[in-house]
Amino acid sequence: MLKKPLIIGNWKMNKTPEESDDFLQKVLDYEAEAKPNCEIAVSVPFICLSTCIDKSKSSPIKIGAQNCYFEENGAFTGEISASMLSRIGADFVILGHSERRRYFSETSEIINLKVRSAIKNGLDVVICVGESLSEKEKLIADEIILMQTKIALFGVDINSLSKVSIAYEPLWAIGSGDIEKIEKINEMCEKIHRVVDQIYNKGASATMKVLYGGSVNIKNLSKILSKANTDGVLIGSASLVSDEFLKIIEFASKHT
């Protein structure tokens, strides 16, 4: 791993603004004192965005959303657009999380529209790709990952790749306590880099990051980060408790 590791916490539908304020204060204190050698990002519920953005303003900690809509504005009750996120100062947005694909019927084509809208509005994007257990058993995981990656990046300009991270998250690993085999994670991350090079040109993928997500915790982090093709991690449940999240940051920082 040559780049500074990117550590992203995804809080999902957890925490109130008060709780997010408290959590972020601990991360800010730690960051100011330890100056960790990794990039830290937290993806928070919409209602916590303002609190977190205001609080982290003069720090390197990045704050993002967990979804957005692809239209700029209009009659789309309940939706939040990428331009709205950009206007309130969000740094990034997670798109295509498997929970969005599964529970909210988001297709790869919809995710592609969201990716393009987010990039157009100046946001960084974290695109999640991953195979289900049944796809893994049918030996089509590679095809699923490559297809999801290609569709998500359709129409995205090569110059925007530095704004893109792709998180390889096998669906069966999320929240299960089990991570994918390290060799497989490494292989998938390498394949994602290779397909991006194929879409654009050789070396194009060097500017983007490829992450792993799915039951990452302090115990398995060293194995994941030691692999050359993994530029960081996307963390769900282990990012909800500040002490645990800070231990992960501390470890990742020393590991570079």
Considering only the stretches 15-23, 44-52, 76-84, 234-242, report the one whose residues sit in contact with ligand PEP under the rule CB under 6 A.
Answer: 234-242
153 binds ligand PEP (CB under 6 A): no
Residue 100 or 191 having the CB closest to ligand PEP: 100
Q: Site for ligand PEP (CB under 6 A): which residue of 64, 170, 213, 232? A: 213
215 binds ligand PEP (CB under 6 A): yes
What is the phi/psi pair of residue 39, to 5°?
-90, 135
Cα–Cα nearest to 94, from 67, 75, 114, 118: 67
d(CA 254, CA 55): 26
Residue 135 or 180 having the CB closest to ligand PEP: 180
Q: Which two tokens stand for residue 191?
A: 């394949």
Active-site pick, 39, 99, 135, 169: 169
In whole angstroms, the minimum distance from the beta carbon of 221 to ligand PEP comes to 11
Is the distance from CB of 98 to CB of 169 less than 8 angstroms? Answer: yes
Is there a catalytic annotation at residue 97?
yes
174 binds ligand PEP (CB under 6 A): yes
Taking each helix axis from N to C terminus, what angle separates 17-34 and 49-56, rounded to the nearest 10 degrees? 20
Helix (H, G, I), strand (E, B) or coil at 200: coil
d(CA 252, CA 249): 5
Residues that bind ligand PEP (CB under 6 A): 10, 169, 174-175, 213-216, 234-238
Residue numbers annotated as active site: 97, 169
